[in-house]
Amino acid sequence: MKLKAAVVGLGYWGPNLARNLAGSGDFALAALCDLDAARLERVGAHYPAAERFTDLDAMLARIKPDLVCIATPVASHHALAAKALQGGAHVFVEKPMTMTGAQSRELLALAERLGRKVFVDHTFLFTGAVAELNKQVTGGNIGELLYIDSVRINLGLFQPDVDVVWDLAPHDLSILHHVVGVAPHSVRAMGSCHSPSGQADVAYLHLDYPGGVSAHLHLSWLSPVKVRRMIFAGTKQSIIYDDLEAAEKVKIYDHGVDFDVKDLEERRRVLVSYRKGDMRAPNVPATEALAVELQNVAAVLRGQANARASGVDGAAVVRVLEAAQRSLAQGGALVPVESA
């Protein structure tokens, strides 16, 4: 039997959720919810089977959905998700999951108490490219992970209420969280603001992980060209993931550096040898990430799979954003990331 799903918030992303739920074999799109009646009308016209609501409580009471997908501005995530959980539904929340780590913690505790599940929409994890990247890194092919560099820059779009870190970094942080598997212990964030809004439009994040791995993010709304490129450098292989490449998004370089310490007394005498090998770009499936993600959500709700992006993961990303925000305000000071 299909699970009953509702979408709350029909701005930029909500219609994609509605389309994927309506086309899914797992879910029935039972309800649409938005404060803006005109928008509700316009989107709703494509889904005659879904009831329309401007009030969340009314929707929950009448539909009793299995899953509520929340695609509203981030400031409202916590309150709406809490309401949905209390109404008996599982929730699927847009990223970033909440405004603060404290909100995330509360939400997870509430869900725990009510026996409901929280999912976070870390869509990128469900692309063929990131799945391949993750397989290579966690499967050990690249050897020991040395460092990660990410560039996510373009011209605009300036947001009225968030800075470039809250706008762009959740993508990178969700990928890093998934692939590295542990949270960074500290962050430095350096940014600058060139508009009268007071919000940073260029920022650099430097994350230090346990075990000496570091990751570095370049985020910008002021670049003349669009770049989406991550480097994962390892001892045996290195990977470049370029999301703007049409056909070869993931390139695996069979290159490496070997160090041979000849004389332990004198650490300076290190023999370095380079290995330049083949490059390989595995074919990655081009299925829509959101469809794959909703399959995972359904499988979890049916007890058939583990969540690839649970509320715990969403909370981990929020804690890094929070630390970055604090570091940014302090001009790049080292800020520890709170633990779960």
Residues that bind a copy of itself (CB under 8 A): 46, 146-147, 149, 151, 155-158, 160-161, 188, 190, 192, 194-198, 202, 204, 206, 212, 214, 216, 218, 220-226, 231, 233, 235, 238-240, 244, 246-248, 253-255, 257, 259, 261, 267-270, 272, 274, 276-283, 331-332, 334
Backbone angles phi, psi at 28, to 5 degrees: -110, 130
Residue 281 or 312: which CB sits closer to a copy of itself?
A: 281
Residue 140 or 212: which CB sits closer to a copy of itself?
A: 212
Residue 59 or 230: which CB sits closer to a copy of itself?
A: 230
Core vs surface per residue 258-267: b (16+ CB within 10 A) or e: eeeeeeeeee
Name 323's Cβ contacts closer than 8 Å, sequence gap at least 6: 186, 187, 335, 336, 337, 338
Residue 181 or 277: which CB sits closer to a copy of itself?
A: 277
In the complex, least distance from residue 219 CB atom to a copy of itself, rounded to whole angstroms: 11
In the complex, least distance from residue 259 CB atom to a copy of itself, rounded to whole angstroms: 5
Residue position matching structure tokens 């069979």:
254
CA dihedral 43, 47, 51, 57 (to 10 degrees): -50
In the complex, least distance from residue 29 CB atom to a copy of itself, rounded to whole angstroms: 15
Residue 62 or 226: which CB sits closer to a copy of itself?
A: 226
Which amino acid makes up residue 88?
G
Rounded CA-CA distance 31/28 in Å is: 9
In the complex, least distance from residue 116 CB atom to a copy of itself, rounded to whole angstroms: 35
Residue 265 or 306: which CB sits closer to a copy of itself?
A: 265
In the complex, least distance from residue 72 CB atom to a copy of itself, rounded to whole angstroms: 19
Sign of the torsion angle spanned by Cα atoms 312, 317, 320, 325: negative
In the complex, least distance from residue 146 CB atom to a copy of itself, rounded to whole angstroms: 5
In the complex, least distance from residue 141 CB atom to a copy of itself, rounded to whole angstroms: 13
Residue 181 or 212: which CB sits closer to a copy of itself?
A: 212
Greatest pairwise CA separation for the chain in angstroms: 77
Sign of the torsion angle spanned by Cα atoms 51, 57, 58, 62: positive
Pairing of strands 145-155, 214-220: parallel
List, in sequence order, every residue forming a beta bridge with 148; answer none if it has no partner: 215, 232
